[in-house]
Amino acid sequence: MTQSEENYLKAIYHLGKSKTGVISTNAIAEEMQTKPSSVTDMVKKLADKGLLNYKRYQGVSLTSDGKQKALSVIRKHRLWETFLVEKLNFNWDEVHEIAEQLEHIQSEKLIDELDRFLAFPKVDPHGDPIPDKNGELEPRQSKLLSNLDTDSSCICIGVKDSSSSFLRYLDKNQIALGDKIRILEKEDFDNSVHVQIGNRKLHLSHVIASNLIVT
């Protein structure tokens, strides 16, 4: 498979997690930052390979083979991010673009050995679950911090937004995975929250709270 084909499958998989039913070509075009006509050409090609279900004017969905391919790329991406942070001391805001390049390496033996070398991690540095060799994801119960009620307590286990700017914001404010967070108060006006993390009290905007995954 080409890198472009793998990127399309990965994008459609991620879109399918937040939308029900088929995914429109316009949604894919927005995700891939390309023209709808280019998306149509690609989805036809992927459908011919048995990786997508495609009906003109209706949208697409992954076949079982397409989903397996997408999860394989995601597994490689998240394993490489883990390797870069844990073994090469990269910051978690530096690794996404590098992993975007490394995820297209085709050697299954290399990826299996990388998984073994890292002691079969379950999540990457951003808290995202890592699929196993068979494409299985370990289930977990999670919510967004913004959805919790006042006086609730939780543990931060991931981020919805893994952009460098958001991760740097978390570093600047010393918010990390594994932190225990207590909701002290929620503002009706803008849905921002007052929280306690350790001995510190912080005021987080709704945007920030909506991008912290907790359990």
CATH of the domain at 197: 2.30.30.90
> Which one of 137, 153, 178 terminates a domain?
137
> Which one of 137, 165, 187 terminates a domain?
137
Return the pLDDT at 102: 98
DSSP string over 115-131? HHHTT--SB-TTSPBPP
Rg (Cα) of the chain, in Å, rounded? 19
Whether residues 109 and 154 share a domain: the answer is: no
Give the mean pLDDT of the chain: 95
Sequence-distant (6+) residues with CB within 8 A of 120 are: 132
Q: What is the DSSP letter of 75?
A: H
Across the 215 residues of the chain, what is the mean pLDDT of every consecutive 10-residue run?
96 87 91 93 96 90 96 98 98 97 97 98 96 92 95 96 96 97 96 96 97 97
Whether residues 127 and 147 share a domain: the answer is: no
Is 178 exposed, middle or buried (CB count within 10 Å of its CB: 0-12, 13-18, 19+)?
Answer: exposed
49 lies in a domain?
yes
d(CA 84, CA 98): 9
Q: Please say whether the beta carbons of 208 and 169 come within 8 A.
A: yes
Owning domain of residue 57: 3-62
Return the pLDDT at 166: 97
32 lies in a domain?
yes
d(CA 118, CA 165): 27
CATH number of residue 48's parent domain: 1.10.10.10
Express each pLDDT in 92-131 by its tens digit: 999 999 999 999 999 999 999 999 999 999 999 999 999 9
Residue 38 identity (one-letter amino acid): S
67 lies in a domain?
no
Whether residues 152 and 123 share a domain: the answer is: no
Number of domains composing the chain: 3
86 lies in a domain?
yes
